[in-house]
Amino acid sequence: MPKSSRRKHPIVNFYWRKLTFFAFFFAVLGLGYAGAQTFSADTNKYMPPTDAADLTISLKITADGSVIADGQKLKNRVDTTGQSDELILPILDNTGVGYSSVHTLMTLPADVVKTSTYDIKGIHGVDTLSVTAVSDNVIDYYASGVGPDATLSVIINMPQGTIEPPLLYRLYAIASKIKVSAWYIAAFALPIMTLIFMIGFIMLETRQQHVDIPKKETDSPPMALPPAIAGVLYHQDVGPREIAATLIDLAQRGDIYILDKERDFAFLKNKLDQRLLSYEKILLSKIFKTNVLSNKGEIEQRINNHLYSQKISLVASGIYVLATRLGYFKVNPQHIHRKYTIIGMGAFFVGLVSFLLSMTIFTNPPYILFFWAGMMISGLIITVTARDIPNRTAIGQQVLSNWLAFRKYLSNPEKIPFSYESQELFQKFLPYAIALDCEVAWAKRFSEQDFVLPKWYVSDALSPGLQDFCLSLFPIVSYVARSLASLKEPGFD
């Protein structure tokens, strides 16, 4: 069993800070919701006097549908979404006080008593109930023997149009009357249309920014570029591969060593190289801080201690800025990502806020929730697909075409014949192979050669072969690169 197969680097770390953030966020959310529920339950609820055995409540319905009880405006309103303008008002509910008699005198906004239907309902301890019309616009709801646990409700159904609600309530009424199937269609159509639009847009841009796929391969990099720049030209994104390629490139140039132990690994800083690019310096400072040696535990600590890393964002910025300055992109890809992130986030949060509002405002069943969920999914689609929008200039397309010719060489399945020079060829182009997604194919080209361990890779295994080397190195670099890439700050990736 090769040593490398025993190596297990976690794919997902346990981020204590992220966990703390979540715990705090949802604790605040939960408390806020509980508080809002309590506030909503307690405010604008009619509180009857408790010092009288016989109670008379003056209830007034205004022209806009508001309800006023003994001068106090209640949260209940006349519902104008149905066939009639309806008010169902539990005027007394488990008050803890008993009453011999309760008269509720309801004044309507117009003389519509004769064309209205009205009722009184009482449960949990009410002796008798009756309703009588006092005049063309006043109704007397009467209950006797109302117990302390009783719920007494008054109901009126006025002809449709009696109430003229404010604009928002009219909109609510319109939304309530939309058919369920319409919400289903809208909810599914919105993300699907967004996806179709984004794919169409990407395809259109891709057609316009056509990159020639070279027929011939070239056996050397088309130009002297840092592997991360070649990677970002290829992916249009700074991800784990660009960081991994940079690490191997730094090792290749003698700036770092990679130490591979049985169950551990470490990075060793070799020297202070003045020729380092800014983003390389920042990457090294993230890994080493002020130390010369940084082992797995220390690197993990530096990664896990942060929700996001400004340094890694700057590494990404540096790579994007370089590639843009070299003329490969029309606009800095980071700006494109940010623009679409803002649009996607906007759609997501608008959907979320509307979803929450609809939950509060709409009574059962709130089919409009489908629509807002669809909007949230559309926001996610925008943020995910925007990374694939082509953004390369004509120069960028041409240069990428050249790099694809080199990639063709790297991933050619033919074995490379043994020669003294070819022994170092593997490690020389390895950073580019990683940046261009073909490191495994590149390694396979050397499978029939005697493997010479790179100077920058120190292992405690006895003379590992190429396979052992790859199976040990790739997980280390991939793990570190993926962990670091995940620390890019939102909006700066």
Q: With CB under 8 A as the contact rule, which of the stretches 135-143, 237-245, 272-280, 466-474 interacts with another protein? A: 272-280
Among 190, 312, 376, 470, binds another protein (CB under 8 A): 376
If the CB atoms of residues 63 and 307 are measured against another protein, the closer one turns out to be 307
If the CB atoms of residues 314 and 386 are measured against another protein, the closer one turns out to be 314
Structure tokens at 378: 């559309």
DSSP structure string for 128-152: EEEEEE-SSSEEEEEEEEE-TT-EE
Instruction: Tell me the one-letter amino acid at 128.
Output: T
If the CB atoms of residues 194 and 341 are measured against another protein, the closer one turns out to be 341
Is residue 356 within 8 Å of 289, Cβ to Cβ? Answer: no
Q: Is residue 461 exposed (0-12), middle (13-18) or buried (19+ Cβ within 10 Å)?
A: middle
The residue whose two tokens read 């996607």 is 344
Among 68, 74, 88, 268, binds another protein (CB under 8 A): 88
Q: What is the dihedral of CA 345, 346, 347, 348, to 10 degrees?
A: 50
| 3 state DSSP class of 179 | coil
151 to 210, contacts with another protein by CB under 8 A? 151-153, 155, 180
If the CB atoms of residues 209 and 278 are measured against another protein, the closer one turns out to be 278
Closest distance to another protein from the beta carbon of 479 (Å): 21
Closest distance to another protein from the beta carbon of 62 (Å): 20
Is residue 93 within 8 Å of 41, Cβ to Cβ? Answer: no
Among 43, 364, 419, 463, binds another protein (CB under 8 A): 364
CA 238, distance to chain mean position in Å, is 19
Closest distance to another protein from the beta carbon of 267 (Å): 21
Closest distance to another protein from the beta carbon of 202 (Å): 21
Residue 370 in contact with another protein, rule: CB under 8 A: yes
Is residue 439 within 8 Å of 430, Cβ to Cβ? Answer: yes
Cα separations (Å) of 456 from 85, 106, 282?
81, 89, 20
Among 188, 197, 201, 308, binds another protein (CB under 8 A): 308
| 3 state DSSP class of 195 | helix
Residue 310 in contact with another protein, rule: CB under 8 A: yes
If the CB atoms of residues 26 and 418 are measured against another protein, the closer one turns out to be 26
Residue 318 in contact with another protein, rule: CB under 8 A: yes
Among 9, 48, 74, 90, binds another protein (CB under 8 A): 90
> Rounded to whole angstroms, how far apart are CA atoms 448 and 451?
9
| 3 state DSSP class of 165 | coil
Residue 22 in contact with another protein, rule: CB under 8 A: yes
Structure tokens at 382: 């925008």
Is residue 77 within 8 Å of 61, Cβ to Cβ? Answer: no
Among 134, 359, 440, 452, binds another protein (CB under 8 A): 359
If the CB atoms of residues 309 and 411 are measured against another protein, the closer one turns out to be 309
DSSP structure string for 20-51: HHHHHHHHHHHHHHHHHHHHHHHTT-----SS
Chain residues that interact with another protein, rule: CB under 8 A: 18, 21-22, 25, 88, 90, 93, 119, 121-124, 151-153, 155, 180, 221, 223-226, 275-279, 282, 307-308, 310, 314, 317-318, 321-322, 325-326, 338, 341-342, 345, 348-349, 352, 355, 359, 363-367, 369-370, 372-373, 376-377, 380, 383, 489-492
